[in-house]
Amino acid sequence: MSWRSLALAGFMAGTLAMTASMRATTPGEEKDSTAVTFNKDVLPVLQKNCQSCHRPGEIAPMSFLTYKDARPWAKAIKAAVVSRKMPPWFADPKYGHFANDRTLSDSTISTLVAWADNGALEGDAKDAPPPVTFVDGWSFKPDMIIEMPKDIPLPATGTINYKSILVKVNFPEDLWVVAADLRPGNAAAVHHMRAIVRPPGSTWMKDAEPGVAYEGGDPEVGRQGEGTDLLGKFNPGLGGQDFSMFDSAKFVPKGSDIVFSMHYTATGKATTDRSKLGLVFAKKAPKLKYYVSDGPTASNLAIPAGDSNAEVVSEMTAQADTQLVYLQPHMHLRGKDYEVRLISPSGESKTIFKAKWDFNWQLGFDLEKPLPIAKGTRIVGIAHFDNSANNKYNPDPAKLVVWGPQNWEEMQNCFMGFLVDPNLKNPRTLFRATGPSLLPRGTSGPTLSTLVSN
């Protein structure tokens, strides 16, 4: 059983309570809605949909763990769910079904509204579901915690370049990881971070002193190194990552080390960070290896100054049959939306995913069912960027923007999780950049017009 299904089992009682409240709010029975209480109706909803972020030490500014915490926010909760500002979820429901879909049902929204409108009652303590336990802030109980060995000093102001920090883990045996969770040591300073597996024999950072932050070179180069693999990520709203959904897991070879790739932002005062990675191991070898690819990538992108809807297209082609299970678009401050299309070897084109982009929320989308990708299928990423002055996040509308790691530069890729044969030595060979992704940089695009037709 995965940690996700364990957590869900805890919500079963809550689901029953929600069904009861649905009945209480059918039209014509408004009087019954006074019976809606925190313990019986609201807490189960908060546990299932909100506490992943609304708890101490997480990214939301207030906790919704208890009645005392949530009561002052009753009206704000009503407003946030009615406007669908909360919980954050950006996938267009026309394309794909997602296991981690946070969209609230209309009946759940009515329950929260009825609660807020009728005195936000606490109700009977015996109606409350057991609290969800977050072990020391982790999304699940880790079997192993890998912490940076030293505090990383951070300046009060200015740009902080990406930092790579080696931790000599020297994993004692081959291991299968079913879940990974990265926890910032200093939540205000960590913008995002990644944990990368450095397999034995890799020359990446071979002379690095463990625990020391290195800025030399492009961090992206390291990540592309032979055999290295992305194990876990931290972004606002992403949460712990589950790799076990399809009898699958990530592989960490014996003797591997971990490199933390950190993107910090200055907080206004000199501070430090010491972040950590929690891992849950599979009890037995899984059927399939879960591999995360950078996906279609437009490192040749060019976004004209002032353009409010600049199109940028990227493409990669599957070199063998595989299955897609996860999508996480990636752009910076000018990103607007991201679409993924599959073009079959016979030329049929199909949109499988479309989502709004919001830099503050870099969400990941778990497909409910694996999507087969046949050898020769082209995976196309189509993004739009707003480089006009109307984009309030735009650092400089007067600038032609190209690919780069800093926020005022741009990226266009979509991290993708695939299920592959556990014996496949180097999953990177599964995909090759093709079409628009191979073009030299122009003054805009590459756009859809550069797609090769079959």
Kindly list the residues in this chain that would bind ligand HEC in the complex (CB under 6 A): 49-50, 52-54, 59-61, 73, 76-77, 80-81, 86-88, 102, 104, 237
C-beta of 182 vs 259, nearer to ligand HEC = 182
The span from the CA of 451 to the CA of 435, in Å, is 6
Minimum distance of ligand HEC from residue 239's CB (angstroms)? 7
Radius of gyration of the CA atoms of the chain, in A: 23
C-beta of 120 vs 373, nearer to ligand HEC = 120
C-beta of 76 vs 389, nearer to ligand HEC = 76
Amino acid at 291: Y
What region, left, alpha or beta, does residue 439 occupy, with left being phi > 0 and alpha being psi -120 to 50 degrees? beta
Minimum distance of ligand HEC from residue 64's CB (angstroms)? 7
| Count of residues in the chain | 454
Minimum distance of ligand HEC from residue 266's CB (angstroms)? 20
Minimum distance of ligand HEC from residue 416's CB (angstroms)? 21
Minimum distance of ligand HEC from residue 204's CB (angstroms)? 32
Minimum distance of ligand HEC from residue 59's CB (angstroms)? 5
C-beta of 46 vs 302, nearer to ligand HEC = 46
Minimum distance of ligand HEC from residue 127's CB (angstroms)? 19
Minimum distance of ligand HEC from residue 360's CB (angstroms)? 7
Amino acid at 349: S
C-beta of 18 vs 50, nearer to ligand HEC = 50
C-beta of 187 vs 424, nearer to ligand HEC = 187
The answer to whether 38 and 123 have CB atoms below 8 angstroms apart is yes
C-beta of 43 vs 249, nearer to ligand HEC = 43
Minimum distance of ligand HEC from residue 62's CB (angstroms)? 7
User: For residue 206, with 0-12 CB atoms within 10 Å meaning exposed, 13-18 middle and 19 or more buried, which class applies?
Assistant: exposed
C-beta of 179 vs 205, nearer to ligand HEC = 179
C-beta of 12 vs 76, nearer to ligand HEC = 76
